[in-house]
Chains A and B, each alone.
Chain A
Amino acid sequence: MPNLKISQLEKVTNMDPDSFVLVVQNGKNYRMSIKEAIAAYVDLSPYYTKEETEEALNSVDTRIDTLEGLATFRIIPVSYLDLRRLRDNGDLVPGQQYRITDFATIVNSQFESLELPFDIVVTALSSTRLSSSASALHRDIPDDTLKDFDLSSWKLKYSLDNDTDKFNWASEDGKGVIYGMVDEFNNSAPFDFYSIYPEGKPLFPYPFAGSSYNNTIKEVRGADGQMLLPIVYFTEDVNNIEVSKNSDGEFVAYNVADLFATSSDSPSPDPSPYGTVYYIGEI
């Protein structure tokens, strides 16, 4: 249970559950209502008697055991496991962005991964669902292997679940799965091609990542629809990457770029007189 200090900047003057206090934790400020502060186990004893606090507590319907459960407007840093817990408990805040601070692509024993460290940012659509689209940010670490790359321009497709039925490279000990990646050079693949060695042949830092542009590795699926890590061979011209059949012997290839396209059923908004019916939300 966190012991959170109320900032001296904003003194509590009444017990109206909707009035606001400023709470300080780990040097960061959180502005919240009294109701929220109580739900987050903020220690109000400098300002209220035990009885007053207990009385207010009775009016609180739900408890939140971390401040990260409150609706703030910054990107909230979380560990992968904490995010899983928030999702599984229905504690995600719609519209809130979460930054997974310990992400790395971990694969099962059939494959190899450099497990390059970078953070992933995801957006909650509801209390139990995250968007499948994600972005990347540099992790604040010494010797950042990716320091010369523009991670903020990357586009990712990310699944919080380590679904081994869906992705043949996933590991149950993983931190979610990247199943689509486009970097700043417009190279794209249906996996984290900076970390994963397909068939022991790295794509990073060469030939991808700055040495060439617009390379695409197509998505590969098995007969049962499972996404398969493709086997990649380099031809003599390293800019011409050939994707072969996988060990199952059969595959259906899709264009990875389609993973990032907006839905064809829902075109982008067009305020022209000839736009299609398109509204956000429900009436």
Chain B
Amino acid sequence: MEKHHFVHSLWTAPMQSDKRKLEVTALVYALSVAYLKRLGCSINLHTDSLGKKLLDGIGYDHIYLSAEEIPNTISPKIFAYPKSMALEKEPVGTVHIDGDVFIKTEECLDRIFNHDCECVVQSFETLLPWLQSAKTFMIPFLAENLLSTGEKLEIRDYDCNTGVIGFFNDELKNLYISNYQELAKKLSKYEYLYFVQNQYGKFDCPDFVLEQQMLSYLTRNRKVRCVLPVDSIPYMEERNELAKHIGYTHLLGPTKYDEDVIEKVKGRLEEFGLLEKVYKNIK
């Protein structure tokens, strides 16, 4: 049976001055790889030279220094930019997962592959009210700059969470990548790129909208599947229960920096016999 193929991406430029972030990144990425390898999957990494030093020898099938090719016109605030490069360079049918995503079961793999769709994502999520920049800036920005769709861009009432993102259709893949990269270049010029504190004290993330809201728009008439159907499940306890039974984990946002979480990750790495290797790389 053909191996399922995944890819990670990592751009260390946004975090090079933060040793703690680098350490945590190495730990969670290593665990993500370990789980995939346990299932017999293949996985490549697209990163820069520091990323290669951090993550060499922990299980990737190939490590490419694609992030070294990121144009200097791209702001490091668009930290997920290498994701688009990884998808671009890998064959259609490759699935990108965030480094803090763990695919742990055959069942979860089956939710990602082996079905008739053009794109797979982690989940559909209701557009959250704290995404103020979406309404005040990002949507007009996308509407003005989106390439060759010819249609009026309207805010979608849901985002596609790209903890998992994979294309099974060349045309859609190329459409997403070309738009993402072109818009990232333009967005890099704007002051809104910096984290902005809004009236609720929340930090808006324009690049987040660029990645997820745009995907929601581009896939509006396409066959899109989600790994975790949480859009119909508002309760966190139930979402966790579902994720647990599917065998899927995503350490969202700042969660991965929590001490308890890090200890659990280390514990798992120990079980896989990888903890020592990861810390050797970190040093």
Q: Which residues of A contact B (CB under 8 A)?
A: 16, 18-20, 31, 71-73, 94-95, 97, 121, 123-127, 129, 131-135, 260-263, 265-275, 277-283
How many residues of B sit at the interface, in one of the four size bands? 35 or more
Contact check, B254 vs A275: say whether CB atoms are below 8 A apart.
yes
Contact check, A283 vs B268: say whether CB atoms are below 8 A apart.
yes
28 contacts between A and B (CB under 8 A): A31-B114, A73-B111, A95-B228, A121-B232, A123-B233, A125-B242, A126-B244, A131-B242, A132-B235, A132-B238, A133-B232, A135-B232, A262-B235, A263-B237, A266-B235, A266-B237, A271-B208, A273-B254, A277-B255, A277-B260, A277-B261, A279-B256, A280-B228, A280-B250, A281-B244, A282-B240, A283-B31, A283-B102
- Counting chain A CB atoms within 10 Å of each CB, which of B116, B245, B248 scores highest? B245
**B203 CB to closest chain A CB, in angstroms?**
4
Bits for B87-112, please: 1 = Cβ < 8 Å to A, else 0: 00000000000000010000100110
Contact check, A131 vs B252: say whether CB atoms are below 8 A apart.
no
Given contacts A31-B116, A125-B245, A133-B233, contact A277 B258 (CB under 8 A): yes
Q: Which residues of B contact A126 (CB under 8 A)?
A: 241-242, 244-245
B130 at the interface (CB under 8 A from A): yes
Q: Which residues of A contact B246 (CB under 8 A)?
A: 94-95, 281
B229 at the interface (CB under 8 A from A): yes
Q: Which residues of B contact A129 (CB under 8 A)?
A: 241
Contact check, B235 vs A263: say whether CB atoms are below 8 A apart.
yes
**B20 CB to closest chain A CB, in angstroms?**
13
Contact check, A280 vs B252: say whether CB atoms are below 8 A apart.
yes
Bits for B202-231, please: 1 = Cβ < 8 Å to A, else 0: 110100100000000000000001011110
Contact check, B102 vs A281: say whether CB atoms are below 8 A apart.
yes
**From B1, B245, B249, contact of A127 by CB (8 A):** B245
Query: 7 tightest A-B contacts by CB?
Result: A266-B236, A281-B249, A281-B243, A94-B245, A272-B203, A271-B253, A126-B245
Q: Which residues of B contact A277 (CB under 8 A)?
A: 254-255, 258, 260-261
Residue of B whose beta carbon sits closest to that of A268: B128
Q: Which residues of B contact A125 (CB under 8 A)?
A: 233, 238, 241-242, 245
Contact check, A278 vs B252: say whether CB atoms are below 8 A apart.
yes
B19 at the interface (CB under 8 A from A): no
**A151 CB to closest chain B CB, in angstroms?**
14
**B35 CB to closest chain A CB, in angstroms?**
10
A166 and B105 CA atoms in complex are apart in Å by 36
Residue of A whose beta carbon sits closest to that of B263: A283
A72 and B116 CA atoms in complex are apart in Å by 10
Residue of A whose beta carbon sits closest to that of B267: A283
A134 and B229 CA atoms in complex are apart in Å by 12
A278 and B256 CA atoms in complex are apart in Å by 9
B251 at the interface (CB under 8 A from A): yes
B234 at the interface (CB under 8 A from A): yes
Contact check, B252 vs A97: say whether CB atoms are below 8 A apart.
no
Q: Which residues of A contact B31 (CB under 8 A)?
A: 283
**From A127, A133, A274, A279, contact of B238 by CB (8 A):** A133
